[in-house]
Structure 1
Amino acid sequence: MLRFAPLLFVFLVACAAPSAVAPEASDAPEAAFVTRLGSDTLAVERFARTPTGMTATVALRAPRTTLTTYDLVLGPDGDLVRYEAVTRQPLTDEVLRREIAEPSGDSLRVTQRPTDEPETVRMVALTERALPFIDMVHWPFEIMVERAVEAGGPLDQPLFTSRGLVAFTSDVQDDGAVTVRHPFRGPMTVEADARGRLVSLDAGQTTRALVVTRVGDVEVEQAATRWAEMDAAGQSVGALSGRGETVAEVAGATISVDYGQPLRRDRNIWGALVSWGDLWRTGANQATHLTTDRDLVLGEGADALTVPAGTYTLFSIPQPDGGTLIVNRETGQNGNRYDESQDLGRVPMQRQSLDASTEAFTIDVEASGGEGGVLSLRWAEDAFRVPFSVRD
């Protein structure tokens, strides 16, 4: 059975030889991270160790710019004492929301206070030495990396959100590399210095493909102001992966496809971001859904697959010579969840070069002839195509 790879961080821990070690991080109590996606800078972070934990200030550009301050307090044993995040609009300094997490008995009480919405309180299972998980923000990884290196062996590292825990695990290999696993998503590579401090993180093998680099300092507030001004001028970076929808009338059938639309952002796509021979969610975020009100036949000849009227999810296995499109009966799931036992069937795809590059991943349904058409997956310089016909 094909399965999505679990999230695998490989921490390249420095060895004794100077030529082999990662760049040594500064001994200064403050440091900074810059996060990029392709050619776009998405976030800048300034963080500092305190006697009881860590503080941080982060400018995050997607989907619209925010400026957030964080205060993490840990006990002597590393257990969470208190976590607070205050998010502001950079140009007006208006507080948009607050989030506070504090232990309450055997649970973690997470309180969210949006400015324009009612307060919500959720209770999350409390475990030892929990750290916050913040989408596209990486200063908590500084602590996680150090703990992984210090442990020198198997280690569980839970990260919490307002909805529950994400269970990371780590282990140290014989060659000094540290592996850390997340129950889902793709692989990342993290480079650490000899003291276990995060130097770089490369998520190039994931759909998001962020690259995080450690720097000495960064003007976080100035970056937030500049990005917010760009937002106001209509130049927002927007959501990293929006949703696309294609609706077409072909030979009397109404066919619609709802899918996530990752952007290229100057990245290599086929055989790189989307690996040859691996199962791909065929988009981003929620699974791609195809709906038809008439029976279809995908593919041709002995490889043809009859698809009864209804709703299905689409996955694919791209290959240099085309690969395979998978039609699955399960619906409503995230694109990282795939159950092969729910497959309706598989059909070959045909690879075709495009005359012009496509920035946003796009799925088209194109009429062709009188009784059918072509389902086309287009991104970068290539399209993967499957002919289909509508049954009488």
Structure 2
Amino acid sequence: MKKFFIICAVFAGTLFTPQLNAQETPETTKDSDGPNFSKLDVSPMDVILFRGENNEPLARVLYSRPQTRDREIFGKLVPYGEVWRTGANEATEITLYNDLMVGDKTIKKGTYTLFTIPREKEWTIILNNSTNIWGAYDYHVEKDVARITVPVRTSKTPIDALSMSFSPTENGANLYIGWDDRYVVVPFKNVK
């Protein structure tokens, strides 16, 4: 009789245990009552935040970080002379929490899209009023609020994933944008 109950319990367990499809994993299993979780994006989203002397936020960049993955980046994957979203997936966005100067132009606090036009020796940095957009497909030059040109610099070490960081300066901050074997520096200055 004991064996009969064990066999019944095993049989019942196989009937009522959820089965995973061959292509499903625990991260992508859809529960009939719950969410469908996706796998980690190959170009994960990241954020950098620059804070002032009193720890108040001054600027934030939200961007996706594509990987080099043995590809030729500039001039091939990212063509020279074309508007680039400065990352992957959604276009990169920068939020300024105070009015700041980019080049000789004062930019009002707010959120902007950060586009770039990479070239071999210099990049054009663009702050644009279009936000919440995918890629550079909805880029419109008439929505530009600022454009500056900065020189390309060679990195001493390879940068496998597109990377950005802020570094404080005497009168603001520099935004570093680097990938593969090069980087650029975008100066932001406090408005006096």
Question: Would you say same fold, with TM above 0.5?
Answer: yes
Tell me the equivalent position of 1:355.
156
Tell me the equivalent position of 1:311.
111
Measured after TM superposition, the shift of residue 358 of structure 1 is 0.8
2:142 aligns with one of 326, 335, 341: 341
Tell me the equivalent position of 1:260.
64
Alpha carbons 1:248, 1:254 under 8 Å: kept: yes
Structure 1 unaligned spans of 5+: 1-65, 69-86, 97-113, 120-236
Tell me the equivalent position of 1:325.
125
Alpha carbons 2:163, 2:178 under 8 Å: kept: yes
Note if 1:293 corresponds to 2:124.
no
Alpha carbons 2:49, 2:57 under 8 Å: kept: no
For 1:115, give the aligned amino acid: D
Q: Distance in 1 between matches of 2:182 and 2:167?
A: 16
For 1:255, give the aligned amino acid: A
Alpha carbons 2:102, 2:146 under 8 Å: kept: no
Tell me the equivalent position of 1:240.
42
Measured after TM superposition, the shift of residue 247 of structure 1 is 0.3
| Local SS of the residue matching 2:142 | helix
TM-score scaled by structure 2? Answer: 0.77
Give every structure 1 segment of 4 or more consecutive aligned residues whose post-TM-superposition deviation is greater than 2 Å: 114-119, 250-253
Measured after TM superposition, the shift of residue 250 of structure 1 is 4.3
Measured after TM superposition, the shift of residue 373 of structure 1 is 2.1
Q: What pairs up with 1:144-223 in 2 under 5 angstroms? A: none
| Local SS of the residue matching 1:327 | strand
The structure with the largest strand share of the pair is 1
Alpha carbons 2:63, 2:88 under 8 Å: kept: yes
Q: Distance in 2 between matches of 1:389 and 1:67?
A: 55
> Percent identity between the aligned chains?
29
Alpha carbons 1:350, 1:386 under 8 Å: kept: no
Tell me the equivalent position of 1:78.
none
Alpha carbons 1:244, 1:362 under 8 Å: kept: no
For 2:82, give the aligned amino acid: D
Spell out, residue by residue over 1:42-73, the C-alpha distance to the aligned partner (whole angstroms, 9 max, x if none).
xxxxxxxxxxxxxxxxxxxxxxxx976xxxxx
Tell me the equivalent position of 1:275.
79
Q: Distance in 1 between matches of 2:21 and 2:178?
A: 36
Tell me the equivalent position of 2:31.
115
Tell me the equivalent position of 1:366.
167
Measured after TM superposition, the shift of residue 258 of structure 1 is 0.3
Alpha carbons 1:367, 1:374 under 8 Å: kept: yes
Alpha carbons 1:276, 1:320 under 8 Å: kept: yes
For 1:382, give the aligned amino acid: R
Tell me the equivalent position of 2:13.
none
Give the length in aligned residue pairs.
Answer: 167
Structure 2 unaligned spans of 5+: 1-19
Measured after TM superposition, the shift of residue 305 of structure 1 is 2.4
For 2:150, give the aligned amino acid: M
Q: Distance in 2 between matches of 1:269 and 1:242?
A: 18
Give the direction of change, closer, same or farther, for the CA distance of 1:355–1:277 in structure 2 (3 Å limit).
same
Measured after TM superposition, the shift of residue 238 of structure 1 is 4.1
Alpha carbons 1:375, 1:388 under 8 Å: kept: yes
